[in-house]
Amino acid sequence: MEGESEESVDDTPPTLLHQATNPAGMAHVSTQTEERDTDHPGGQWMRYNPGNASHYPFSFIGTDQRPCVAKYIRYLNINDGVIHQGTDSKNKAVLGTPLYA
């Protein structure tokens, strides 16, 4: 509106290291989505969203030898590093790899 000052908005996404070390700033799947999503692994797992700049795809080779992207991802702080993990559901294998910023 006229006469009001606009607040400065920082559209720059936080760095991956900041996201991984600051879980409060990370996006989380809503409770409603988790209730409908019966295969959600729970906890800090997030449904991978390619439109979310803070989500990095977790790619792996599936049992059919074809490339896959995990349905759920999470970032874990282990010692001085960050581990990026992926899984397809609460009863599937959890795969992980170190994440380098």
Whole-model pTM: value is 0.62
Q: What's the confidence (pLDDT) of residue 15?
A: 52
So where are the chain's domains? 16-99
Element at 35 (helix H, strand E): helix 31-36
Cα(46)–Cα(64) distance, integer angstroms:
25
Which residue, among 84, 87, 96, 99, has the nearest Cα to 42 in the 3D structure? 87
pLDDT mean over 18-42: 56
Cα(45)–Cα(24) distance, integer angstroms:
14
85 pairs with which residues across the strands?
74, 96
pLDDT single digits (tens) 3-15: 544 444 445 555 5
pLDDT single digits (tens) 49-82: 999 999 999 999 888 999 999 999 999 998 889 9
